[in-house]
Amino acid sequence: MDDTLTLAEALEDLVSAEDFLDYFEVPYEPSVVHVNRLHILQRFHDYLARQAPNLPPEEDQQRGIYRLWLERAYQDFVASNALNEKVFAVFQHVDKPGGGSSSFVSLDKIFRS
């Protein structure tokens, strides 16, 4: 971890799930990350988005919270899988009135986030 960078500066340089896990010193199994990297990062983002209004102003405390939520996001996929966790809208099936189900995602939902 490069202590000369602010948290915001360090985050700008992180590209992959492995980069995030290494930076926040979260131990991980490469095979779990290989299969679920986008899901882990999206879940991490979702956890942080809910936590954002409650983040303390101190960077050290923020760093600890980020690590906690990244570890939790990773553990979600150690204990489960992408199909069960349904992180992305395409995995979220909606029952149709006439029977069956759909995982349709409209373009306005895609470009909203």
pLDDT in tens, 62-90: 999 999 999 999 999 888 766 555 564 54
Residue 102: CA atoms inside 13 Å, Cβ hemisphere, count?
7
Asked if residue 29 is part of any domain, the answer here is yes
Q: In this structure, what DSSP letter does residue 100 have?
A: S
Asked if residue 25 is part of any domain, the answer here is yes
pLDDT score of 110: 43
Q: Is the pLDDT of residue 113 over 60?
A: no
Mean pLDDT over residues 39-51, rounded?
90
Q: Is the pLDDT of residue 109 over 60?
A: no
Query: Cα separation of 106 and 22, whole Å?
Result: 35
Asked if residue 39 is part of any domain, the answer here is yes
Asked if residue 28 is part of any domain, the answer here is yes
Residues 21, 70 contacting (CB under 8 angstroms): yes
Query: Cα separation of 31 and 54, whole Å?
Result: 33
pTM over 0.85: no
- Whose structure tokens read 């926040």? 24
pLDDT score of 10: 94
Residues 45, 14 contacting (CB under 8 angstroms): no
Domain count, the chain: 1
pLDDT score of 53: 85
Query: How far is the CA of 14 from the CAs of 7, 20, 35, 79, in angstroms?
Result: 11, 6, 19, 25
Asked if residue 73 is part of any domain, the answer here is yes
Asked if residue 30 is part of any domain, the answer here is yes
Query: Cα separation of 36 and 81, whole Å?
Result: 8
Asked if residue 90 is part of any domain, the answer here is no
Instruction: State what percent of residues in the chain have pLDDT above 90.
Output: 47
Can you give the residue range of the structural domain that contains 45?
Answer: 7-85
Residue 83: both structure tokens together: 């199909």
Asked if residue 106 is part of any domain, the answer here is no
